[in-house]
Structure 1
């Protein structure tokens, strides 16, 4: 297989030009079987692994990651190439660490949460340093600095872009975005719930983080991410974050159910991306419990 990622240092001196991921000659202290890893967040296969895992996972080849940025259309992350299931998404401007390129597919992990999977080669490009982030539900890229101009693209909340401010617009390489829809990439939202509430009504999409739709843990991750709190991708990973609640529920608390997470908007109601409603909805906690049963965990994550 062809690989664009740099081969591990001190690799064989005459690598096969069709495969730059060559055997690593360094002596790693792997004295027993490979360590059990969560392969959602550890890039390790039987044939290839991230070189940072060389002391924990045995593979015939190791690779150093090369970073690329997601393009305007965003990108689905799949469980495998060709026939894989969508397991997550990259938002425009987010970065992906590439460990292997094989035909139309790249294998690696998203840099913001370490989630491992496959993306299509044509969805990524050169890495650029973002200056702004979309804080509105969505932002339009106009071909000219006018809200009457042709729309070149629509960016979901959380998208990262770079450009220079010109009057009331950010001038990017792809067009113009109204400053009212943007915030500084270094800024944070004061309330993750307010971020989630802006996405009320967004379609439910398994593996979604805002490209066409969103799922329950994607909603929580994006909402807290804009508030400056980096959470893992899946609900069973998020359940370990923060602290257990032994008091009355309040706005911003997370309630977990089997394979599901909700975000409290008030002591008696929550917002969540629901496969039952196929939409992001705000509904009474009583109705959620009647349908899903009592929560298995209640967590509070401070923004």
Structure 2
């Protein structure tokens, strides 16, 4: 059994062991995983953060031992918060541009350093961790707005390209809350609301297709406003019918349910 971690800014994860295969998600810097299968130059991995599985180019994996993997499981890493962070390894002249949601394990905030295995890194920019946020709902909206106008990318989790559930997952991660990867999984979390008027900033709205399958998710911003990734990260109107696109002046997604993940205080 092997274990790995990303010391690259982004590792694409594909549905099959081939470069031309669909990208289903991305592993961000500092996120760790279990290698569950090897085929030639490809490795099938299971991400520790959300148990998502897919194939990555074996050359992109930085190997860690089981002891370090288990230590990662019991500590909450700091999370890169700025739109861009810069990371550099000790005694190494190369810099790495890091996207929001990247993980810095065993972080020393005073020194602004962290460790991956035996390697020590230093970072620039801000990080967040569990318990940092005084008003989680405001913080979620602030984080979501950082992605405003980011292009839509199936499987994406970064400001360079992001999909609807990638947006909700990363925004919640920036606020110390774990969500599954896909909208069809995220809808199973939290408490349902009866009316759209009950929704508060940071609640999640889910939308289905003609077959009743959950295909889209967005973040409630304000009364009858939603932040979501559709073509790009945008703000549209939402009501009991669904999302009303402010540009095309028509409904684009049919509302199924609104879920409250954050406890009401």
What TM-score, normalized by structure 1, do the two folds share?
0.67
Structure 1 vs Structure 2 CA RMSD: 2.8
Match of 1:140 in 2: 86
Partners of 2:260 and 2:252 in 1: CA distance:
20
Alignment equivalent of 2:204, drawn from 254, 272, 280? 254
Q: Post-superposition shift, 1:227?
A: 2.4
Return structure 1 stretches of 4+ with deviation > 6 angstroms: none
8 A Cα contact 1:138 1:181, kept in partner? no
8 A Cα contact 1:140 1:151, kept in partner? no
Partners of 2:260 and 2:26 in 1: CA distance:
25
Counterpart check, 1:287 vs 2:224: no
Give the SS at the match of 1:221: helix
Structure with larger RCO (C-alpha < 8 A, sep 6+): 2
Q: Post-superposition shift, 1:110?
A: 1.0
Counterpart check, 1:76 vs 2:12: yes
Number of residue-to-residue matches in the alignment = 230
Q: Post-superposition shift, 1:68?
A: 1.0
Match of 2:24 in 1: 87
Matches within 5 A, 1:58-137: 66-82=2-18, 83-127=20-64, 129=72, 131-137=77-83
Q: Post-superposition shift, 1:105?
A: 0.7
Give the SS at the match of 1:232: coil
Task: Determine which structure has more spread, i.e. the larger CA radius of gyration.
Answer: 1
1:217-265: per-residue Cα shift (whole Å, max 9, x none)?
Answer: 0111111223232221111111222111124222112111231111111
8 A Cα contact 2:224 2:237, kept in partner? yes
Q: Post-superposition shift, 1:138?
A: 2.1
1:246-287: per-residue Cα shift (whole Å, max 9, x none)?
Answer: 242221121112311111110121111112xxx212233363
**Unaligned 5+ runs, structure 2:** 209-214
**Unaligned 5+ runs, structure 1:** 6-65, 145-149
Partners of 1:132 and 1:229 in 2: CA distance:
13
